[in-house]
């Protein structure tokens, strides 16, 4: 039985390597056929490849290069899901017609040059691994599992990306985006609600601090030995001992109040880019990449034209066959 298993495994390995050998043989045969066909119709191959490379040079010129512009937006009030829905009219404008371009100009209040330079706009959710309120990665493929309760979408972050060929218009585009989102009625209402909640929290901390301060004074007055207390450097002293009422609790409340006050000051607008929009210096259609793609596509096209011309009679007979 063991010898049969060893034999079967050995036969499977032989079949696998034979299959690998056949694949390489067919691949080299195909490459040889392509080279033969190109050499037989070399004028056609040269002309088509030259046209392809010329188009590659044309579309990779500096004034026709596109760049990715990206930025992480912080949301103060509205969730990432709501903001993404509000951004859909802007995303659908690209690739744009003249009507959609004019609509984008009207919504964002930017110049026609800046709007026409944009090729695509996308938004992505930010994923928080381990659900610890820390942004970890961007869901660029839109494939995050919504049933995952450990790695979740963050609702106070949204990642923006768009393509443009006018990097000198990036600041104008950023201002236009912020103008659109920060003046949208839904965004404004959610921001007002958040600021009201923060203000209520600050008021609550103030009341708690005053309440503890009152308890501290009452505890002092109710102390039977208060007459023996002396004041030294803002501390109550009984002999050589210091006595402080609710000092630790009041300090904790003051720190928490300070955090809410900072949030209240920073959350003055529904959305902002803390680091502004950044331009990726590597062009999407850079010269080397564009020329390589143009060369491959033009060579494949030359092979198709050459094979079509070589077998033109067979193709004609097939098409005329009844």
Q: How far apart are CA 232 and CA 236, in angstroms?
A: 7
- For the chain, give the number of residues: 322
CA 266, 269, 274, 275 torsion-angle sign = negative
**Long-range contact set of residues 308-314: C-beta below 8 Å, sequence gap at least 24:** 309/41, 309/44, 310/37, 310/40, 310/41
Quote the Cα angle for 37-43-49, to 5°.
Answer: 85
* 148-157 residue pLDDT tens: 888 899 999 9
CA neighbours closer than 13 Å in the CB half-sphere of residue 310 = 16
Quote the pLDDT of residue 219: 58
Q: How far apart are CA 202 and CA 45, in angstroms?
A: 75
SS3 content of the chain, % helix, strand, coil (to 5): 60, 15, 20
CA dihedral 203, 206, 212, 213 (to 10 degrees): -140
Cβ atoms 76, 270 nearer than 8 A: yes
Quote the pLDDT of residue 322: 62
Cβ atoms 301, 48 nearer than 8 A: yes
pTM: 0.75
* 174-196 residue pLDDT tens: 999 999 999 999 999 999 999 99
Quote the pLDDT of residue 236: 56
- Residue 147 phi/psi, 5-degree rounding, is -85, -5
* Radius of gyration in angstroms for the set of CA atoms belonging to the chain, rounded to a whole number: 35
Per DSSP, the residues of 14-58 read HHHHHHHHHHHHHHHHHHHHHHHHHHHTHHHHHHHHHHHHHHHHH
| Residue 21, SS3 per DSSP | helix
Quote the pLDDT of residue 133: 84
Cβ atoms 80, 158 nearer than 8 A: yes
Domain limits of the chain?
Answer: 66-184+271-279, 193-266
pLDDT in tens, the chain (322 residues): 445 555 577 788 888 888 999 999 989 888 888 888 888 889 999 999 999 999 999 988 888 889 999 999 999 999 999 999 999 888 887 765 666 677 777 788 888 888 888 888 899 999 998 888 888 999 998 888 888 888 899 999 999 998 998 899 999 999 999 999 999 999 999 999 999 999 999 999 888 888 877 776 655 555 555 545 555 666 655 544 445 556 778 888 889 999 889 888 888 899 999 999 999 989 888 889 999 999 999 999 999 998 888 888 888 888 887 6
Q: How far apart are CA 76 and CA 271, in angstroms?
A: 6
Closest C-alpha among 119, 135, 116 to residue 127: 135
Q: Does domain 66-184+271-279 have CATH number 1.10.287?
A: no
Quote the pLDDT of residue 233: 65
Q: What is the DSSP letter of 67?
A: E
Helix axis angle, 287-310 relative to 2-40, nearest 10°?
80
């Amino acid at each position: 039985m063991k010898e049969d298993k060893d034999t079967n495994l050995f036969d499977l390995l032989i079949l696998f390597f034979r299959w690998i050998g056949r694949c390489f043989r067919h691949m080299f045969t195909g490459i040889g056929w392509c080279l033969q066909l190109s050499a037989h119709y070399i004028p056609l191959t040269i002309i088509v490849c030259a046209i392809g490379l010329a188009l590659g040079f044309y579309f990779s010129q500096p004034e026709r290069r596109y760049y990715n512009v990206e930025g992480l937006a912080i949301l103060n009030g509205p969730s990432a899901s709501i903001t993404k829905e509000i951004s859909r009219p802007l995303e659908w404008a690209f690739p744009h017609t003249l009507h959609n371009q004019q609509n984008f100009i009207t919504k964002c209040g930017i110049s026609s040059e800046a709007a026409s330079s944009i090729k695509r706009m996308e938004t992505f959710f930010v994923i928080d691994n381990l659900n610890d309120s820390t942004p970890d990665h961007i869901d660029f493929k839109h494939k995050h599992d919504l049933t995952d309760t450990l790695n979740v979408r963050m609702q106070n972050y949204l990642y923006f990306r768009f393509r443009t060929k006018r990097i000198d218009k990036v600041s104008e585009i950023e201002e236009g985006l912020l103008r659109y989102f920060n003046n949208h009625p839904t965004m404004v209402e959610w921001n007002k609600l958040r600021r009201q909640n923060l203000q209520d929290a600050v008021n609550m901390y103030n009341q708690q601090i005053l309440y503890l301060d009152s308890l501290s004074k009452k505890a002092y007055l109710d102390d039977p030995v208060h007459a023996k207390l002396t004041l030294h450097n803002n501390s109550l002293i009984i002999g050589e001992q210091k006595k402080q009422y609710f000092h630790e609790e009041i300090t904790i409340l003051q720190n928490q109040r300070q955090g809410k006050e900072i949030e209240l000051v920073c959350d003055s607008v529904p959305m902002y880019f803390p680091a502004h929009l950044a331009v990726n210096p590597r062009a999407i259609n850079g010269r080397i990449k564009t020329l390589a793609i143009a060369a491959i596509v033009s060579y494949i096209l030359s092979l198709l034209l050459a094979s079509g011309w070589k077998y033109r009679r067979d193709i004609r007979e097939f098409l005329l066959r009844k």
